[in-house]
Amino acid sequence: MESSDKNTKTSEAPTSIPIQPGLFEYPTPEHSHPALLGSHCQTCGRKFFPRRTLCTNCFVDGRMEELKLNNRAVIYAATVVHIPSPAGIQAPYAYGYVDILTDNIRIFALFTGDNPSSFHSGQEVELVLEPIRTDGQKQQIIGYKFRPV
Amino acid sequence: MGKNSRSLDINLDRYDKVTFMQEVYIIGAGMTQFGKHPDRSLRSLGFEACLNALRDAGVKPKEIEAGFCGNALAPAIQGETGVGQNVFWEVGINGVPIVNLENACASGSTALREGWMAVAGGFYDMVAVVGVEKTVMPKGTMLNVGAGEYETKLGEVFPGYFALIAKKHMERYGTTLEQLAMVSVKNHLNGSLNPYAQFQKLLTVDEVLNSPMIAEPLTLYSCCPNSDGAAALILCTEKKAREFMGKKVKIAASVLTTGTYDNERDITGWEVEKRAAEKAYQMASLGPEEVNVMEVHDAFTISEIIHYEGLGLCPPGEGGRLIDQGTTGLTGKIPVNPSGGLLSKGHPVGASGVAQVVEIVWQLRGEAGKRQLKNPRVGLAQIMGGNKEGDTRACTVHILMKD
């Protein structure tokens, strides 16, 4: 009984899971690109990432709509980290802040590509979803990254 | 005096004058040596700091009416909560209100502010403040703080955030790698004169630049170490202070601010710090040019340069020039981090904010040994804690005056 439970679990366990639910969506037949998911207040126009339910700008409730962020961004600042992260990411790895084009939102972003040192402010990049590490159950943890256009 | 200081970007008229019931004085200060204390517990370190502060003030534990303890990481590292009750009990302070405060690197200074508010508000005549922390862990141990934040899950680390700030400051203002390194060189020179400091060795600019890379452009010696240690203060009303025979120091300002987390903010400066500084100068009725000594939060070299700007020692972008000119050295016009700062003295997170004030008290009383400055009358301590959305969760500024 126990072992069959285990087997069921193993067979049903996803091979990959997102780092956090609701942060992004995979490409769909309607949208060929992956998208980060934010919120857009229909009263004051303020945009947020990640999603939130209350607009802290105008404090009007129930006026938030889901926003699919533009998949293109410009790097605001970039660095290369040479120590492994406690979250389990191997060094060296590149990250920084990117300004999402047309949405006026700056977000934290990992960078991906052959050369971590090549990223610099002003560079145009685009969103990709990639494994960032493997967890204890050998599941791939999927995060969002940006790569050179 | 003190109205619209000549230093750019500091506006003292922006805030209402703060009034409180009691002036608050510091009559006792003490700390442990900062560094590695693998065989000692949090309560042992906190006990030593409290005992030193009580003996310095010449007061007995039973005279203390409340205790405030700053600690950031004991629940995460030692699995310990209620550190304040343990520490104060050990030194004989019990039966009175004890509060534990966590505000990341500003935990200790937040405890000081809460202690100040309690006395300034007329609730108590005499209170004790302690900051205590043990962050030295076996090599390779990773502390996963902020595990609930998506940035942390993606791999953000503290040195990386400050590396981005350094990159942006260099790009925007032309701040150089050498200027960044000189902050560490200066603070290690100061620390070599401080028996309480973790590092007692001098560093050269080349040694800082050539130490292992942590997050570009910040190298190992551009970052403060993990440390164990504790620091404590005894606070009281003016009336009580008058009964005290030793040299007393007045708390002329105590300010705590939190970030606004504005998206697309300029990361080459902290609005949260400027706001805290302006409120503090206004509360103390003076400007930055009247401050004789500062202890600032140099967790990374770039931080100290930006604090020069945020605290009004120079206009935005000119922090690098200040270090070039030696303005903030021990013999400069406004010495910054005479204790060695976090870079050399060490950074037991929850203790650092209290230890900065211990150093200012010693400097104002003329008891700072080989690193003693020439007759300083006004000192300032600044520290901030935590990162959220590229902004700071807590920032405190305290201004102290020789009585």
Question: Do A78 and B143 lie within an 8 Å CB cutoff?
Answer: no
State pLDDT tens for residues B154-192. Answer: 989 999 999 999 999 999 999 999 999 999 999 999 999
What integer pLDDT is reported at residue A86 of this predicted model? 85
Residue B144 sits at the vertex; the CA angle it makes with B131 and A12, to the nearest 5 degrees, is: 150
The strand pairing partners of B378, in sequence order, are: B401
Q: Tokens 């060695």, residue? A: B340
Residue B391 to chain A, least CA–CA distance (Å):
12
Single out the catalytic residue among B105, B223, B236, B395.
B105
State pLDDT tens for residues B233-291. Answer: 999 999 999 998 888 999 999 999 998 888 888 999 999 999 999 999 999 999 999 99
A45-50 contacts, C-beta under 8 A, 24 or more apart:
A47/A103, A47/A104, A47/A105, A48/A105, A48/B263, A49/A100, A49/A105, A49/A107, A50/A20, A50/A22, A50/A23, A50/B150
What integer pLDDT is reported at residue A6 of this predicted model? 43
Share of chain B above pLDDT 70, in %: 95
Phi-psi region of A82 (alpha: psi -120 to 50; beta: other; left: phi over 0): alpha
State pLDDT tens for residues B362-390. Answer: 999 999 999 999 999 999 999 999 887 77
Tell me the mean pLDDT in the region A83-93. 90
pLDDT at B6 over 60: no
| Proportion of chain A in helix, strand, coil states, percent, rounded to 5 | 10, 45, 45
State pLDDT tens for residues A40-73. Answer: 999 999 999 999 989 988 888 888 999 999 999 9
Residue B324 to chain A, least CA–CA distance (Å):
25
What integer pLDDT is reported at residue B389 of this predicted model? 78
Cβ atoms within 10 Å of B265's Cβ, excluding its own? 17
pLDDT band with cut points at 50, 70 and 90 for residue B18:
confident
What integer pLDDT is reported at residue A2 of this predicted model? 40
State pLDDT tens for residues A98-139. Answer: 999 999 899 999 999 889 999 999 999 999 999 999 888 889
State pLDDT tens for residues B284-323. Answer: 999 999 999 999 999 999 999 999 999 999 999 999 999 9
Distance, CA of B273 to chain centre: 13
Tell me the mean pLDDT in the region B75-104. 96
Residue A25 to chain B, least CA–CA distance (Å):
15
pLDDT at B140 over 70: no
Please name the residue of chain B whose CA is at the shortest distance from the CA of residue A20.
B150
Share of chain B above pLDDT 90, in %: 85
What integer pLDDT is reported at residue A1 of this predicted model? 38
What integer pLDDT is reported at residue A15 of this predicted model? 86
Phi-psi region of B182 (alpha: psi -120 to 50; beta: other; left: phi over 0): alpha
B314 is catalytic: no
Contact list, B214 vs chain A (CB under 8 Å): 81-83
Stated pTM of the model: 0.93
The helices-and-strands tally (H runs, E runs) of chain B is: 14, 11
Which residues, other chains included, contact B374 with Cβ-Cβ below 8 Å and sequence gap of 6+?
none
What integer pLDDT is reported at residue A28 of this predicted model? 85
pLDDT band with cut points at 50, 70 and 90 for residue A4:
very low
Q: Which amino acid is at B214?
A: I
Q: Does the beta carbon of B163 lie under 8 angstroms from any beta carbon of chain A?
A: yes
Question: Do A85 and B156 lie within an 8 Å CB cutoff?
Answer: yes
What integer pLDDT is reported at residue B379 of this predicted model? 98
Question: Do B142 and A50 lie within an 8 Å CB cutoff?
Answer: no
Alpha-carbon distance of B282 to B289, in angstroms, equals 13
State pLDDT tens for residues B341-367. Answer: 999 999 999 999 999 999 999 999 999
**Nearest by CB to B150, which of A19, A80, A99?**
A19
